[in-house]
Each structure stands twice: as C-alpha cells, then as structure tokens.
C-alpha cells in the first residue's frame, strides 16, 4: 500500500468515526498533494509525499510560534493537533548520533572541507536524508562537520 493510499484510507476511517479535526487535516494533506500533482503534472511517490508532509509540519510549527506570540493559544492548540495527525505519515526519525554519522559519511565521500562546501554537502544530505531527519538538525550537523 502506498502512502497516498494509506492517507486516503485514513480519511475514510475519519469520516466513519466522525472525527472532524482529523478529517480536515487529512483532507488538507490530500489537497496539497493534488495541488502539487496538478501544478507539476506528475504523480507523487512516497518520498515526495513525505517531503510535502515535512513542509506542512514546518508551516504549522511557524504558525504555532506566531500564534503564541500573538496570545492566540486556541489557534496554537489547533495547529499542534494538526502536527500530531501529520506526523503519523512520516517515517521513523533518525537520532542525533545517526544524523551526525550520516553527515560525516557524506562529507568524507565528497571530500568537503571548510564552510565553503556547505551547499554541496547540504544538497547531498538533503537527497539522502529527506523525511528521515529534520533538515535543521542536518544543517547543524553539516556546519559542525565542516568546522573541524
């Protein structure tokens, strides 16, 4: 079963259970998938959907920060609930040690040295680690590895 099929099945289950919050979040995710497919005239695979879910979670985290600063804890709670639903569609995240090891291997394979190679290393790291690790943590690990 592909990730898209799983999301569609979860939407049907949420409809049957009359779980309005979960249903609206899943519909938003499916709408974002469909929008990207139409815009780019492609069929999204599991990796692309994971990347899209990552992007939606990052948007929700940014919204939570803004709502908290604005004193809107009700809206921040709604965004947090959406993050919980979206995280179910992400693969298991790598630990900090695993991210550091993966970044060290990428740096060694590219022969990168110094902050000037940050872009080259990040491009390779993003290709390998998208969906498996949070890109902010990967970026920090790359900076640390290139500073040595």
Return the CATH number at 139.
1.10.10
Output the CA–CA distances (angstroms, integers) from residue 84 to 16, 23, 60, 98, 138, in the order listed. 20, 13, 10, 24, 22
The number of C-alpha atoms within 13 Å of 53 and in the hemisphere containing its C-beta is 29
Together in a domain, 75 and 133: no
Report the percentage of the chain scoring pLDDT > 90.
61
pTM of the model: 0.79
Helix (H, G, I), strand (E, B) or coil at 106: helix
Q: How far is the C-alpha of 85 from the C-alpha of 57, rounded, in Å?
A: 10
118 exposure class (CB count in 10 Å sphere: 0-12, 13-18, 19+): middle
Residue 41 has what pLDDT?
95
Together in a domain, 7 and 65: yes
- Eight-class DSSP state of 132: T
Report the percentage of the chain scoring pLDDT > 70.
100
Output the CA–CA distances (angstroms, integers) from residue 133 to 50, 68, 93, 97, in the order listed. 11, 26, 5, 11
Per-chain mean pLDDT for the chain? 92
Residue 139 is part of which domain span?
96-147
Residue 59 has what pLDDT?
96
């Amino acid at each position: 079963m592909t990730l898209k099929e799983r999301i569609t099945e979860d939407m049907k289950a949420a409809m049957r259970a009359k779980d309005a919050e979960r249903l609206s979040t899943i519909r938003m995710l499916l709408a974002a998938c469909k929008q990207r497919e139409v815009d780019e005239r492609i069929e999204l695979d599991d990796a692309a959907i994971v990347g899209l879910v990552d992007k939606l979670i990052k948007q929700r985290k940014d919204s939570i920060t803004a709502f908290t600063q604005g004193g809107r804890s009700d809206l921040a709670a709604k965004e947090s609930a959406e993050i919980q639903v979206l995280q179910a569609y992400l693969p298991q995240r790598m630990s900090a040690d695993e991210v550091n090891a993966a970044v060290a291997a990428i740096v060694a394979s590219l022969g990168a040295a110094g902050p000037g190679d940050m872009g080259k290393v990040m491009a390779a790291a993003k290709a390998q680690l998208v969906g498996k690790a949070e890109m902010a943590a990967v970026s920090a690990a790359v900076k640390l590895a290139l500073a040595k």
